[in-house]
């Protein structure tokens, strides 16, 4: 009893000595069915504690729980980041700091769910009220806009957690002080369809310092005085009052950068992959009192629809492996003829054959022994055959989609993983650091049971699961990956379609490679490293994706996968607000297959073999 009291007193002292402050999502907002960041500052002025930071949704037993291990020695001050995910609409989340099973601290946080009909803008600025007027503007077909203010430290360091934002404004912050992972995420997020706006003016050099080639300008130089009057025409409000003179950053545009309005030197915009990067030579805060501010940005920002099939499938809340793409022999049912022959043999042996043998022996009274024996023999035989059919080993299956743009060294991978277990057993699956893992859609309706996703101090997640007999447990893993696929294209669009050349400059061969533009495509076949393919005018075929006619590859049905990924109706079934994910008609994409995994398989601490197939979707510079 005395020891128990000492333990309770120790925990009470630890609770009093630890403080926790959390910032969740994008200034409290999160995008439905998307990852969002949770940033927690923890201070410990008490005894050493090896704690677990846990994120959960109170009262939602069907939602994934996320945990992060954190070591808190006496006097420590730590900032801990945790990327979390929920597919549904929630109002509240809960953070708990645990020492084993003992709760040290609890903090409830309010959440503001943002659906796909709202244009979500993140603003990282020293000005806490910057661009608040944009909440009343309409951009494209979005019903409204939402402004979320972010501290520089709260800018997500992963594409998956940044993907919920449609546009990001950077103003009067030092981007050179951002983490390398934050800058890399900004670049890849933009290339996959994000819109980045960087402010110039007095703080322009610091704001542009860490962004390099991402900007549409080469250099941001000294300051000069200039007029903002040309912006009135861009805002379609020529009579609006603008400052007669303001401080501008001298900027040298990149080749091909667009000036808005033309020749004004005020806004520079350039495509970056599927997205846009914009630099303003003026301080965007100078437009605060201008009545045309909202109209200007509603004309500069766009509603983009890049081809992001992996992201679209995840947003639509279905797993490719649950829709007939995975063809495991272990899950195949015996043929009806085999079942019929088995039943016929069972009936014949149990009835006529048993009777004939016993009658010839003159021992019909032994039937009470032979009948149970026959039943046991057939039952044992059926069990043995079933065991042989499903195999004795667990199977790890990974189907991945990697999205990138021509010239990028890294891409964003969405891996749909199916883990088959022939028996009821516990497993631990581990993933590389910075991978974001969640249970598969509708996982609560399966027999497999998920424990929390636990992220260690190095950022590597692991999942424990209790798999049922002959079950496939699915989950989704997202990560940044190095691209073994590199291409160089010189394609031009004409009245008769596309023409030009595409060369594989990467390290691996692409199987069943195709060029896709809208609902048309050109077959390239197998494209070996160093090989080039010519696309001639008139070579595009109609009816993408159904007209591809792809064959099965191992345990994966390629054609079924392509149909699911680019079927707009299917992708919008799970979430009616999800934008169509098929290739936009103004862009050209390369699709190719590689029978290599993007993530290693680690089961119970050991490297494991896996069935794998990866589809690369590369937006071409055409």
Q: Is the model's pLDDT at 6 over the cut of 60?
A: no
> pLDDT value at position 24?
95
> pLDDT value at position 199?
96
Q: Model confidence at 583, in pLDDT bands (50, 70, 90)?
A: low
Residue 21, strand partner residues: 41
pLDDT in tens, 534-576: 999 888 999 999 899 998 878 899 998 998 888 755 443 333 3
Token pair, residue 111, equals: 């959440």
What phi, psi does 74 have (nearest 5°)?
-55, 135
pLDDT in tens, 354-410: 778 777 887 777 778 888 887 888 788 777 766 666 666 888 999 999 999 999 999
Q: Model confidence at 98, in pLDDT bands (50, 70, 90)?
A: very high
Is CATH 3.40.50.880 correct for 116-304?
yes
For the chain, give every domain's residue range.
2-110, 116-304, 482-619
Percent of the chain, pLDDT > 70? 88
Q: Is the model's pLDDT at 322 over the cut of 50?
A: yes
- For residues 127 and 146, give the distance between their C-alpha atoms in angstroms, rounded to a whole number: 17
470: number of Cβ within 10 Å: 18
Q: Quick one: 460 exposed, middle or buried, by C-beta within 10 A (0-12, 13-18, 19+)? A: middle
- For residues 457 and 434, give the distance between their C-alpha atoms in angstroms, rounded to a whole number: 11
> pLDDT value at position 610?
94
Q: Which helix (H) or strand (E) holds 162?
A: helix 159-162
Q: Which helix (H) or strand (E) holds 240?
A: none
More confident residue, 312 or 240: 312
Fold of 2-110: Coagulation Factor XIII; Chain A, domain 1 (2.70.50)
Q: Are 95 and 109 in contact (CB under 8 A)?
A: yes
Q: Is the model's pLDDT at 149 over the cut of 70?
A: yes
The pLDDT mean for the chain works out to 86
Q: Can you tell me whether residue 599 is helix, strand or coil?
A: coil
- For residues 58 and 505, give the distance between their C-alpha atoms in angstroms, rounded to a whole number: 50
> pLDDT value at position 386?
66
- For residues 429 and 598, give the distance between their C-alpha atoms in angstroms, rounded to a whole number: 16
Token pair, residue 431, equals: 């993933």
pLDDT in tens, 201-215: 999 999 999 998 999
Residue 481, strand partner residues: 411
Q: Is the model's pLDDT at 613 over the cut of 50?
A: yes
Q: Can you tell me whether residue 157 is helix, strand or coil?
A: coil
Nearest Cα to 47, choosing from 20, 75, 74?
Answer: 74
Same fold, 2-110 and 116-304: no
> pLDDT value at position 332?
60
Q: Is the model's pLDDT at 240 over the cut of 80?
A: no
pLDDT in tens, 396-453: 999 999 999 999 999 999 999 999 888 889 999 999 999 999 886 544 434 445 589 9
Q: Which helix (H) or strand (E) holds 475?
A: strand 471-482
Tell me whether the omega of the peptide bond preceding residue 496 falls within 30 degrees of 0, making it cis.
Answer: no
């Amino acid at each position: 009893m005395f020891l128990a009291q000492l333990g309770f007193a120790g925990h009470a002292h630890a609770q009093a000595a630890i403080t926790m402050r959390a910032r969740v999502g994008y200034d409290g907002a999160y995008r439905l069915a998307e990852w969002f960041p949770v940033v927690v500052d923890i201070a410990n002025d008490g005894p050493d504690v090896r704690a677990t930071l846990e994120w959960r949704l109170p009262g939602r037993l069907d939602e994934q729980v996320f945990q992060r291990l954190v070591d808190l020695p006496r006097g420590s001050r730590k900032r801990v980041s945790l990327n979390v995910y929920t597919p549904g609409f929630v109002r509240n989340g809960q953070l708990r700091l645990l020492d084993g099973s003992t709760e040290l601290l609890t903090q409830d946080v309010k959440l503001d769910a943002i659906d796909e009909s709202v244009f979500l803008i993140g603003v990282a600025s020293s000005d806490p009220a910057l661009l608040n007027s944009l909440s009343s503007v309409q951009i494209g077909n979005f019903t409204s806009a939402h402004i979320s203010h972010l501290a520089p430290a709260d800018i997500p360091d992963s594409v998956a957690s940044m993907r919920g934002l449609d546009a990001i404004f950077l103003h009067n912050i030092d981007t050179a002080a951002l983490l390398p992972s934050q800058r890399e995420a900004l670049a890849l997020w933009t290339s996959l369809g994000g819109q980045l706006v960087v402010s110039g003016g007095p703080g322009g050099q610091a704001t542009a310092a860490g962004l390099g080639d991402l900007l549409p300008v080469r250099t941001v130089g000294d300051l000069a005085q200039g007029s903002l009057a040309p912006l009135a025409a861009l805002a379609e409000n020529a009579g609006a009052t603008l400052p007669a003179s303001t401080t501008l950053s001298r900027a040298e545009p990149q080749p091909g950068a667009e000036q808005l309005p033309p020749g004004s030197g005020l806004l520079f915009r350039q495509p970056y992959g599927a997205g846009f990067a914009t630099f303003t030579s003026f301080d965007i805060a100078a437009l605060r009192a201008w009545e045309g501010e909202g109209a200007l940005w509603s004309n500069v920002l766009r509603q983009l629809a890049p081809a992001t099939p992996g992201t679209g499938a995840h947003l639509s809340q279905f797993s490719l492996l649950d829709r007939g793409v995975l063809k495991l022999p272990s899950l195949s049912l015996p043929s009806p003829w085999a079942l019929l022959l088995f039943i016929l043999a069972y009936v014949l042996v149990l009835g006529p054959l048993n009777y004939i043998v016993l009658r010839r022996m003159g021992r019909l009274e032994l039937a009470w022994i032979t009948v149970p024996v026959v039943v046991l023999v057939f039952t044992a035989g059926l069990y043995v055959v079933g065991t042989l059919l499903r195999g004795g080993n667990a199977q790890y299956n990974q189907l991945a989609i990697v999205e990138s743009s021509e010239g990028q060294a890294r891409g964003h991978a969405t891996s749909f993983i199916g883990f088959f277990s022939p028996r009821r057993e516990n497993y631990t699956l581990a993933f590389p650091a910075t991978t974001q893992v969640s249970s598969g859609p509708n996982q609560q309706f399966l027999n497999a049971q998920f424990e929390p996703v636990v992220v260690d101090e190095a950022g590597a997640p692991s999942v424990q699961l209790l798999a049922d007999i002959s079950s496939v447990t699915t989950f989704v893993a997202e990560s940044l990956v190095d691209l073994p696929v590199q291409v160089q294209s010189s394609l031009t669009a004409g009245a008769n379609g596309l023409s030009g050349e595409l060369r594989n400059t990467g390290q691996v061969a692409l199987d069943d490679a195709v060029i896709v533009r809208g609902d048309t495509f050109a077959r390239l076949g197998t494209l070996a490293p160093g090989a080039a393919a010519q696309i001639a005018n008139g070579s595009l075929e109609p009816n993408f994706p159904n007209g591809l006619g792809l064959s099965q590859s191992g345990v994966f049905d390629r054609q079924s996968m392509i149909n699911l990924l680019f079927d707009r109706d299917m992708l919008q079934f799970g979430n009616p607000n999800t934008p169509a994910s098929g290739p936009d008609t103004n862009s050209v994409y390369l699709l190719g297959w590689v029978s290599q995994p993007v993530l290693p398989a680690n089961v119970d601490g050991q490297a494991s073999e896996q069935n794998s197939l990866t589809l690369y979707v590369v937006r071409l510079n055409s």
